[in-house]
Amino acid sequence: MLIDPHPLAEDALARPGAVGAIVLTASVHQRASWRLRREFGIPVWMPAATREAEEEPDERYFEGDRLPGGLEAIFTPGAGT
């Protein structure tokens, strides 16, 4: 799983391994997510409250939802949406 991924070096992209999901924590963290989804078919998860998305995510989640990797979504006041 990748969380809020930054652009990766080309050699790192050659083998993304067993990355099963990209989890975004805020709209301002979309970074390289859509490129990775297009190139490797990795599904993107985004908070349901996000209003500005460059693309529509594969899944939207709410506080308390279970996320990939067994994480639990917790709302943090002040986080960008």
Residues 21-32 pLDDT 10s: 999 998 889 999
**Rg of the chain, C-alpha, whole Å:** 12
Q: Quick check: helix, strand or coil at residue 3?
A: strand
Q: Is 80 within a domain?
A: no
List the beta bridge partners of residue 59: 45
In a domain, 76, yes or no: no
| Position 58 in a domain | yes
Tens of pLDDT, residue by residue over 32-74, are 999 999 988 999 999 998 888 999 999 999 999 999 999 999 9
Structural domain for 34, as ranges = 2-6+19-70
Write a three-state SS string for 5-62. Answer: CCCCCHHHHCCCCCCCCEECCCHHHCCCHHHHHHHHCCCEEEECCCCCCCCCCCEEEC
Distant-in-sequence, close-in-space partners of 63: CB < 8 Å, separation ≥ 6: 73, 74, 75
Residue 12 in any domain: the answer is no
Q: What is the pTM of this model?
A: 0.86
Phi, psi of 40, deg, nearest 5: -125, 0
Classify residue 48: in a domain, yes or no.
yes
For residue 23, tell me if it sits in a domain. Answer: yes
Provide the domain count of the chain: 1
